[in-house]
Amino acid sequence: MNNIYLVGFMGTGKSTIARRLQKFLPFQIVEMDEAIERVEAMTIPEIFEKKGEEGFRKAESQLLAIIAKEKNQIISCGGGIVLKPENIAIMKESGTVVRLTSSAETIFERVNRNNNRPLVKGKGLSDIQKMISDREKYYADAADIVVDSGEQSPDEVASEIVKQLALAGRLN
Ligand code: S3P
C-alpha cells in the first residue's frame, strides 16, 4: 500500500513535515503519539511512568498494525518505532519509510524546548549524541528514502520528499 511513514529521531520535525506533505498529497495525517495517548487515555510521560517503555512499545506496535491496514496516509511515527524489526516489516509492507535526519545539535535544541519526551528529559548533548548513534542502525535498516530536515525549510523538505517518492515510483 502507499502509506508514507515518517521516521527519525525525536526532534527531526516529523509532525511539521507531515503537515507540509499534506499540501502536496491528498492523504490523511496520522500522529502516532497522539493516537496512542487517545487509546491509552494518558499522556506519553504518564504511559512511560505507569507502564514503562515496554508498555509504551507494546501500545505503539499494536496501533501500527491497525494503521497499516489503511492506505493513503501520512504517518508521523514516534522516534522509537524502528526499534522493533517487526514494526519495520509492517511499514515496508504497507508503504514507504521516509527517514528525516538532523544534526545532534539541532535535535538537542528542539527536544530541549518541551517536557513531553521521557527518554530525553534532562539529557545533555552528549547523551543525545550517544542515543542517536546507538539508534543509527535501526533507522538505516528502516529507511527507503532519507531527507535532511535540519537545514532546509519545511516546504523544501516536503517537496524533496515528494520528488524522491516520485523518482522511486512510490507515489502510485
Ligand atoms: C520516542 C519518541 C517520541 C515518543 C516517545 C518515545 C522515542 O516521539 O514516541 O517519547 O523512543 O524516540 P517523537 O519522536 O515524536 O518525539
Per-residue CA distances from 118 to 9, 14, 29, 99, 109 (Å)? 14, 18, 24, 22, 16
120: Cβ below 6 Å to ligand 1?
Answer: no
- pLDDT confidence bin for 115, thresholds 50/70/90: confident
Instruction: Note whether residue 112 is domain-resident.
Output: yes
Contacts for 27-30 with beta carbons within 8 Å, 24 or more apart?
Answer: 27/72, 27/73, 27/74, 28/72, 28/73, 28/74, 29/73, 29/74, 29/75, 29/76, 30/67, 30/73, 30/74, 30/75, 30/76
Instruction: Note whether residue 137 is domain-resident.
Output: yes
pLDDT of residue 1: 67
- pLDDT confidence bin for 137, thresholds 50/70/90: very high
Overall domain count for the chain? 1
Q: How far is the CA of 108 from the centre of ligand 1 (A)?
A: 14
Tell me the pLDDT tens digit for each residue of 81-96. Answer: 999 999 999 999 999 9
Instruction: Note whether residue 31 is domain-resident.
Output: yes
Find the radius of gyration of the CA atoms of the chain. Answer: 15
Q: What is the mean pLDDT of the chain?
A: 96
Which residue CA neighbors atom 9 of ligand 1 most closely?
78
The residue segments making up the domain with residue 103 are 3-167
Which residue CA neighbors atom 3 of ligand 1 most closely?
78
pLDDT of residue 100: 98
Q: How far is the CA of 10 from the centre of ligand 1 (A)?
A: 6
Instruction: Note whether residue 172 is domain-resident.
Output: no
Q: How far is the CA of 71 from the centre of ligand 1 (A)?
A: 23
Which residue CA neighbors atom 2 of ligand 1 most closely?
79
Instruction: Note whether residue 7 is domain-resident.
Output: yes
Q: Is the pTM of this model over 0.95?
A: yes
Instruction: Note whether residue 161 is domain-resident.
Output: yes
- pLDDT confidence bin for 171, thresholds 50/70/90: confident
Atom of ligand 1 nearest to the CA of 60: 9
78: Cβ below 6 Å to ligand 1?
Answer: yes
Question: How far is 11 from 58, CA to CA, in rounded Å?
Answer: 22
pLDDT over 70 percentage in the chain: 99
Taking phi over 0 as left and psi of -120 to 50 as alpha, with beta for the rest, 114 belongs to beta
Q: How far is the CA of 100 from the centre of ligand 1 (A)?
A: 14
Q: What is the CATH number of the domain that holds 124?
A: 3.40.50.300
Tell me the pLDDT tens digit for each residue of 26-58. Answer: 999 999 999 999 999 999 999 999 999 999 999
Total residue length of the chain: 172
pLDDT at 101 over 70: yes
pLDDT at 172 over 80: no
Question: How far is 166 from 172, CA to CA, in rounded Å?
Answer: 9
Q: Across residues 114-140, what is the average pLDDT?
A: 95
Instruction: Note whether residue 95 is domain-resident.
Output: yes
pLDDT of residue 69: 97
95: Cβ below 6 Å to ligand 1?
Answer: no
Instruction: Note whether residue 42 is domain-resident.
Output: yes
